[in-house]
Amino acid sequence: MKQKKDYSRQELFAEVPVPQALLTMAVPTIISQVINLIYNMVDAFFIGRTGNSYMMAATSVTLTMVMMNVALSNLFGIGGGSLAARLMGQKRNEEGRYVSSFSLYGAVCIALLYSFLVGIFLDPLLGILGASSATIGYAHSYAVIVIVIGSLPGILSMALAHLLRNTGFSAKASFGLSMGGILNCFLDPLFMFVILPPGMEVTGAAAATTISNTIACLYLLYAYKKAGKDAPLSMNPKDALRIGKAERKSLFAVGIPSALLTGLFDLANICVNIIASGHNDLVLAGMGIVMKVERIPNAVNIGICQGMLPIVAFNYSSGNHQRMKETINTARLAGLLISCLSIIFFQIFASDVTKVFLSTKTADSETALRTIGYAALFLRIRCFASPVQMLNYHTSFCMQAMGKGRETLLHAFVREIVLYIPLMFILDGLFGETGLAAALPVGEGLAALFAFYLLKRTISRSGDVQLG
C-alpha cells in the first residue's frame, strides 16, 4: 500500500500531463485559499453589519499584524516544504523527514516569540500602524485575541498545510484550512451578535477566528501525523536535531526570502494605512475594504502558484527541465486569465461589492456612504494591478521552487522597497488618495517587468541543478 501511494505522488509530479497535474494540485489549494480568504473577510463582513466605519478601520490596522502570521509561517512552511519536495525528487526521503520535523518545531518557536513580542509592545505598535483615538480600542481588543493568544495555532496551521501540500497531500492541507474557514463563518455571528453584548462585535470576531484556527490546527496535526506513514513528514523532535547543515542552509535560503517577501508586503500595507489615516479614518476604512476585496483574485492566483510549486521543485531537482518549464507556462497563463476577468468584474460591480462590507442602514449612514464611495473608487483603480501581481507572485513561487533564495529576496526588495512604497508617497503627494490607490498598479507593473527578466535569467541558468 505504501509503495502504491509513493508511486502515485511520483506519477503526479513526474508523469501525469502537466495541465492535469497542475489541476490536481491547484484546485484543492485554490479552494482552501478562497475559503481561507472568506473566513478572513467574514470578520469584516459582520463588523460591517454594524455600519461602524471606525470598527472597519480598526480591522484595516490589525490586518497588517495578521499578515505577519502568514510571513512567519512561510519561513518554515515554504522553506521546509519546497526543500522537502526537492529532496523527494532526489529520492532522499530520510533527509526530508529531518527537514519536516525541523520546520514543524521551528514554526512553533517563531509563533510563540511573535506572540510574546506583540504582547509587550502592542499599544505603541498599533499607533505606528495607523490606529487613531477612535479606532485603537477596537484594534487592541482584536489583536490581543488573534495575535497574542492566537498566533500559535494560526502560524502552525499554515506551516503544516505547506508541508503537507509540498509532499503530495494537497487535498488534506486544503481541507484543514477550509474547515477552519467554514467554522469561522458560523462562529462569527454567534459570538458577535448572540454571546457578546452590542459594542463588542470586534472582540466577538476575534474570538471566533482564534477558535476556528485552533480547531483547524488540531486537524492538520492529525493529518500530518497520519501522512508521515507515507511521506517524509516527521513529528519526532529528535529528527529535528538530525537535520544537516546543508539542508538547514537550503531551508533558510528559501524560507527567509519567502518570509521577507510577505513581510515587505506587510510593510507596504503599513505605509498604505499610515498615508490613508493621514487623510481621515474614512479613507482608511475604504482602503481597508478594498484590500480585502482585491484579495479574491489574488487568492485564486496564489492557489495556482502553490499548486505549481511542488511540481516545479520536483522536476527541477530531478533534472526534467522541459516539464518544469511547461508547468511554469501553464500556471502563468491560467493566472493571467483569472486576473483579466477580475478587472472586468470589478469595473462593473465596484459599488455593489464594496457595499457588502458596510451597512448603510444604520444611524451613521452618511459616514458609511462616504466610506463606500472611497472604497468603490479605490477598487476601480487598484484592480488593474491584478495581472501584474500574478506575474510577481508567479516569479516568486518559481524561484522558491528552484531554491533560489537570493533571487526571491532581490525581487521582493525591488518590488516593495524600490518601487511600490516610494510610489505611494510620490503619487499621494501629487494626486491625494487617488494617487495612493494608483501606486499599486504602477508599482506592480514595473516590478513585473523586473520579475520577467529575473525568471528568464534564472531558468536559463537552471542546467546545473543543485539542492539550494
Nearest Cα neighbor of 39 from 187, 160, 141 is: 187
Burial 280-293 (b: 16+ CB within 10 A, else e): bbbbbbbbbbbbbb
Domain count, the chain: 1
pLDDT, residue 207, reads 93
DSSP assignment of 88-117 = HHTT-HHHHHHHHHHHHHHHHHHHHHHHHH
Residues 47/205, Cβ–Cβ less than 8 Å: yes
**Does residue 345 form part of some domain?**
yes
pLDDT, residue 7, reads 39
Q: How far apart are CA 342 and CA 346, in angstroms?
A: 6
pTM of the full structure: 0.73
- Grid cell of 27 as nine digits: 484546485
Q: What is the pLDDT along the chain (468 residues), one digit of tens a residue?
A: 333 344 356 777 878 888 888 888 888 888 877 776 776 677 667 776 666 777 877 777 787 788 888 889 989 998 898 888 888 878 888 898 999 999 999 999 999 999 999 999 998 988 888 777 888 888 899 999 999 999 999 999 999 999 998 888 878 888 888 888 888 888 988 998 889 888 888 889 899 989 999 999 999 999 999 988 888 899 999 999 999 989 999 899 888 887 887 788 888 888 998 899 889 888 888 898 898 888 889 989 988 998 898 899 888 888 888 888 899 999 999 999 999 999 999 999 998 888 877 766 664 677 778 888 999 999 999 999 999 999 999 998 898 888 787 888 889 899 999 999 999 999 999 999 999 999 999 999 999 999 989 888 877 775 544 433
**Does residue 468 form part of some domain?**
no
Per the rule left: phi > 0, alpha: psi between -120 and 50, beta: everything else, 168 is left
Residue with cell 491584478: 386
**Does residue 153 form part of some domain?**
yes
Q: How far apart are CA 35 and CA 41, in angstroms?
A: 10
pLDDT, residue 165, reads 86
**Does residue 362 form part of some domain?**
yes
* Alpha helix positions (H), 319-385: 321-355, 365-382
Residues 289/437, Cβ–Cβ less than 8 Å: no
- Grid cell of 167 as nine digits: 509532499
DSSP state of 93: H
**Does residue 203 form part of some domain?**
yes
Residues 336/394, Cβ–Cβ less than 8 Å: no
- Structural domain boundaries, residue 127: 2-9+18-460
Q: How far apart are CA 310 and CA 166, in angstroms?
A: 5
pLDDT, residue 232, reads 87
pLDDT, residue 144, reads 93
Q: How far apart are CA 300 and CA 290, in angstroms?
A: 17
**Does residue 466 form part of some domain?**
no
**Does residue 467 form part of some domain?**
no
**Does residue 295 form part of some domain?**
yes
